């Protein structure tokens, strides 16, 4: 638990240093009314209810490919959000939440487009 608070603290400081030209999502995932999800095939990101049971079905393809997403702010804007495992937590298996390019911890929060679609 202590470690979790520490990680939250780090994330908070990182957010404070973020350039706010892009829409920043400063609330922790628990405090906001949505979570960011990604279609692991098309790589499109969406908003989903915080309690949505993942993976979600993509209404366009009919396939359950929409899954949990974490953000690497070092990656290009169009490829910041990446699929991460649903059945693991960053505190327990940090290596599963590393950016494949930068090999650094990704976060459940990050800049999101203003007009991001909500998916049910
Ligand atoms: Zn990256």
Quick: pLDDT tens for 21-75. 445 555 555 566 899 999 999 999 999 999 999 999 999 999 999 999 999 999 9
Cα gap 28→97, rounded to integer Å: 17
CA of residue 108 to ligand 1 center, whole Å: 13
* Of 19 and 78, more confident: 78
Q: Tell me the C-alpha distance between 46 and 38, whole Å.
A: 6
Task: Return the pLDDT at 89.
Answer: 95
Q: Which two tokens stand for residue 43?
A: 């790589």
What is the Å distance from ligand 1's center to 1 Cα? 27
Whether residue 19 is predicted with pLDDT greater than 50 in this model: the reply is: no
Alpha-carbon span 93 to 6, nearest angstrom: 16
H or E element, residue 3: helix 2-17
pLDDT at 97 over 80: yes
Cα-to-centroid distance, 63 and ligand 1 (Å): 27
Phi and psi dihedrals of 56, rounded to 5? -95, 155
């Amino acid at each position: 638990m202590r470690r979790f608070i520490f990680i939250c603290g780090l994330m908070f400081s990182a957010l404070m240093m973020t350039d706010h030209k892009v829409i920043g999502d400063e609330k922790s995932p628990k405090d906001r009314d949505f979570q960011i999800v990604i279609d692991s095939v098309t790589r499109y990101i969406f908003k989903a209810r915080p309690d949505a049971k993942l993976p979600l079905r993509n209404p366009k393809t009919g396939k359950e490919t929409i899954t949990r997403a974490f953000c690497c702010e070092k990656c290009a804007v169009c490829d910041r959000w990446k699929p991460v495992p649903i059945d693991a937590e960053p505190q327990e298996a940090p290596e599963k939440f590393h950016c494949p390019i930068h090999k650094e911890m990704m976060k459940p929060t990050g800049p999101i487009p203003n007009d991001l679609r909500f998916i049910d």
